[in-house]
Amino acid sequence: MSETLDFRPMEPADAEAVSRLILGAFGTFIAQEYSEEGRREFTRYVEPAELIERVAAGHFLLLAEQDERLAGVIELRNHDHVSLLFVDAAFQHRGIARDLLSRALAVARPARPDLERVTVNSSRFAVPAYERLGFRQTGPERTVNGIVFIPMAHELTSD
């Protein structure tokens, strides 16, 4: 991983770039797993206005940037569910997802001192990456609104 990575919360002005990064990675790695309905549902979920609305409602979106270029993003809902974790293809395999998760949990833990586990509904493609981050499958693959996912959880230790 590069030493020049910067991490910061998403601001409304970032929403367009965040949406583009997510949709680019989604199109390259995940879209083929979904039905047309699922692709539409996911695209709607990551529209800039939707991202801004969720931040205003209390979701936490953290960005990773290198030399002012967006490299990755994580979104936490209720401090205990990863609703988005995407790294631009050009920045993958550098530990950015791990750093994003670690930094997001550093924000979540003080807000939720009782936090014992974090969940995610992983795409098939991302299961190996989540397993490397300490997540384990907690149920069978499901499809909701055309979105295929595997429920996973990461049990947190009290460091």
pLDDT tens-place string over residues 19-35? 999 999 999 999 999 99
58 assigned to some structural domain: yes
Q: How confident is the model at residue 4 (pLDDT cuts 50, 70, 90)?
A: confident
In a domain, 135, yes or no: no
Q: Quote the pLDDT of residue 10.
A: 97
- Count structural domains, the chain: 1
Q: Is residue 89 part of a domain?
A: yes
The pLDDT value given to residue 105: 94
Q: Which two tokens stand for residue 119?
A: 């969940």
Inside any domain, residue 140: no
pLDDT of 2 reads 44
pLDDT at 136 exceeding the cut of 50: yes
SS3 state at 104: helix
Say how many C-beta atoms besides its own lie within 10 A of residue 11's C-beta. Answer: 12
128 belongs to a structural domain? no
Query: Mean pLDDT over residues 104-113, rounded?
Result: 91
User: Is 134 inside a domain boundary?
Assistant: no
Domain of residue 92: give its range: 5-113
81-87/136-137 β-pairing: unpaired
Query: 153 lies in a domain?
Result: no
CATH number at residue 35: 3.40.630.30
> By C-alpha distance, which of 143, 159, 77 is closest to 85?
77
**At how many degrees (to 10) do helices 48-56 and 15-29 cross?**
120
Q: Is the Cβ–Cβ distance between 109 and 150 less than 8 Å? A: no
What 3-state DSSP class applies to 84? strand
The C-alpha atoms of residue 75 and residue 73 are separated, in whole angstroms, by 7
pTM comes to 0.93
Please indicate, yes or no, if residue 76 is contained in any of the structural domains.
yes
